Amino acid sequence: MTIDPERLTHDLARLSFDAPKLSFAFYGRVSTEDNQDPESSLGWQLSLATNLIAPRGGEVVEKFFDIGQSRSLPWQRRPEASRLLAALRDPRRGFTAVVIGEPHRAFYGNQFGLTLPLFHHFGVQLWVPEIGGPIDPDNEAHDLVMSVFGGMSKGERNRIKVRVRTAMASQTLLEGRYLGGRPPYGYMLKDLGLHPNPAKAAQGKHLRGLTPDPQTAPVVRRIFAMYLDGFGMFAIAEALTRDDIPCPSAYDRARNSHRDGLAWSKTAIRVILTNPRYTGLQVWNKQRTDEVLLDVDDVALGHTAVMRWNGRDQWLVSKDVVHEPLVDQADFDRVQETLTRRARTATAPKRAHRSRHPYVFKSLVFCGVCGRKMQGQHSHGVAYYRCRFPQEYALANKVDHPRNVIMREEMLVKPLDTWLVGEFGPSQRRHTITKLLDQAAVGMPTATATTPAGPTAAECDAKLAQYRAALDAGADPVVVAGWIADSQAERKRAEQRQQAATAAKTPDDLGRITQEEMIAIVEELGDMVTALRDAEPEHKLEVYRSLGLHLTYTPETQTVRAQIDLGPHRWDSVRVRGGT
């Protein structure tokens, strides 16, 4: 048998021409930690992927490229990677395989071992240049190579973190360079010329430094001077507020929109008094970023970044003065010594004593002027409730508030208990039930009189959430899709049943059912209230809290408005109101 070389070549070419092309989805990633331009990074990663699949007749038909996402995030928490995983579940997807240009940008740590089973489950090949083609899930060598790249990716990220932090620490200690962030109150930023790094200078980046702010620098000097003269932080805050000096959050509203900015606080004064930057030194590492597990029961979800404060022993302070100081170093040291001395005095151990008169209305009394909770206070063995509101803060908040609002506890106990026992006593219970029903008919949502024939909409939503979780875990999409369709249809029927029941409901039905519920509630509460007369103070407090008692004291009329909320027990918004 003879073989014609020309015919063989022609047949192979025809077969190659007739063979269908492989359709690929491309995945890549770039983040700020890579310090690369997203467009150029996409270009060269896509080029690597194309060079791998083009000789096999493959072409990229869809791109998934995450920008600004750290490699430490699992695929489910990256927008584009998550979209790719969702596309795997779609039988009508436009690709049959996925190609990755650079694996160590796609996989971090053990992410490859958690992701590949999903590709294998849905019958989608995963191609990478380091393997030279598709990854074989049963090939130990392939698994080892990809695991090595995951470890390399994790190690590279850790090296970048160490290198950056080491460089910033050196720049702070030796150069006193300003490393970013908002300038402290009293300073503003000034231009120091082109960046010393030639590459950044070529991009037009400049260094910046701190210089005194003409408007706020005198305020900082005044705060230190007042504290050295013996004024406390509270007195300093009051004086600045009284003189209409904007507090830090009011002065810079653009970056403090989450704060009210109405008045100076002790916290703001303390932050200024303890900041060594006012001596002309540069400070870094006051805060750190910790990576905390998002869910301790599901480590695969990865970590989330949490900002935390470092102790003063971890701060890095420049060796030399690098910007104009607002306070002398000697004065700053004296302030720190005073703060330390006062802190030791405030936290000195005191002889523990047991209060002979616990607060009966603890956390239940509110000021009728400002609406804040009134604090308990003992004086000569008598319990009081006090709301202290400094006049300067009152003016800043536009509240006409006395300096002190004081209510004596014993003046309220007996009238309140008498009112409660009267309202819930046997002879008054029917009248109380009637008042509750009147308010319920106005403010309460209607209740369903009959048990629905089938699951509720909320139960259907819970099932749908479980089915979606099963999809994410790799369950068969065809089977789960059927479950989802059934639950959605059942949910629609549940909504129709609920609408029909609401439309068919009458006021008589509402009154009959509500009355039965109300009688049970009032009967039970009546037994509780009757026990108040002989109860100990701490037991009274438990009863008051269980009743949802809310007391509002009005100093002008010296009256208390008592309000009971039965919502935490069995109802949505049933209230009984009275006053003494």
Q: Bridge-partner residues for 23, per DSSP? A: 59
Q: Over its length of 580 residues, how does the chain's per-residue pLDDT go in tens digits?
A: 555 656 545 554 444 444 457 899 999 999 865 567 888 889 999 999 999 999 988 999 999 999 988 888 899 999 999 999 999 999 899 999 999 999 888 998 889 988 999 999 999 999 999 888 999 988 888 988 888 888 888 888 888 888 888 888 888 888 878 887 788 999 998 888 888 878 777 878 888 889 999 999 999 999 999 999 999 888 898 889 888 899 898 888 887 777 767 778 888 999 999 999 999 998 888 888 888 887 887 777 888 888 888 888 888 888 889 899 999 999 999 999 999 887 766 555 555 555 456 788 888 899 888 778 888 888 887 888 988 776 555 555 556 777 788 888 888 888 887 777 776 666 666 666 666 666 555 544 443 334 445 677 767 777 776 766 666 666 666 566 667 777 777 777 777 777 776 565 554 444 444 555 656 665 655 555 566 666 777 777 777 877 778 889 988 888 888 887 655 444 333 333 333 3
Q: Are 567 and 547 in contact (CB under 8 A)?
A: no
Tell me, what's the pLDDT at 291? Answer: 84
Same domain, 524 and 539: yes
- Count of CB atoms situated within 10 Å of the CB of 361: 24
Can you spell out the DSSP letters for 280-341? T--EE-SEEEEEEES-TT-GGG-EEEEEEEPPGGG-EE-SS--S--SS-HHHHHHHHHHHHH
**400 within a domain of the structure (yes/no):** yes
Same domain, 74 and 53: yes
**485 within a domain of the structure (yes/no):** yes
Same domain, 456 and 433: no
Judge residue 201's burial from the number of C-beta atoms within 10 Å of its C-beta, 0-12 exposed, 13-18 middle, 19 or more buried.
Answer: middle
Judge residue 544's burial from the number of C-beta atoms within 10 Å of its C-beta, 0-12 exposed, 13-18 middle, 19 or more buried.
Answer: buried
**269 within a domain of the structure (yes/no):** yes
Q: Which domain does 500 fall in, by range?
A: 450-504
Alpha-carbon span 53 to 56, nearest angstrom? 5
Q: How many domains does the chain have?
A: 4
CA 513 to chain CA centroid, nearest Å:
42
Alpha-carbon span 33 to 40, nearest angstrom? 15
CATH number for the domain spanning 104: value is 3.40.50.1390
**98 within a domain of the structure (yes/no):** yes
Same domain, 245 and 271: yes
**349 within a domain of the structure (yes/no):** no
Same domain, 112 and 147: yes
Q: Are 147 and 113 in contact (CB under 8 A)?
A: yes
Tell me, what's the pLDDT at 180? Answer: 78
Same domain, 278 and 373: no
Q: What angle do CA 298, 304, 305 make, to 5 degrees?
A: 160
Alpha-carbon span 366 to 370, nearest angstrom? 8
**164 within a domain of the structure (yes/no):** no
**287 within a domain of the structure (yes/no):** no
Same domain, 222 and 96: no
CATH number for the domain spanning 336: value is 3.90.1750.20
Q: What are phi and psi of 284, to 5 degrees?
A: -140, 160
Same domain, 378 and 406: yes
Same domain, 471 and 568: no
**140 within a domain of the structure (yes/no):** yes
Tell me, what's the pLDDT at 32? Answer: 67
Judge residue 110's burial from the number of C-beta atoms within 10 Å of its C-beta, 0-12 exposed, 13-18 middle, 19 or more buried.
Answer: middle
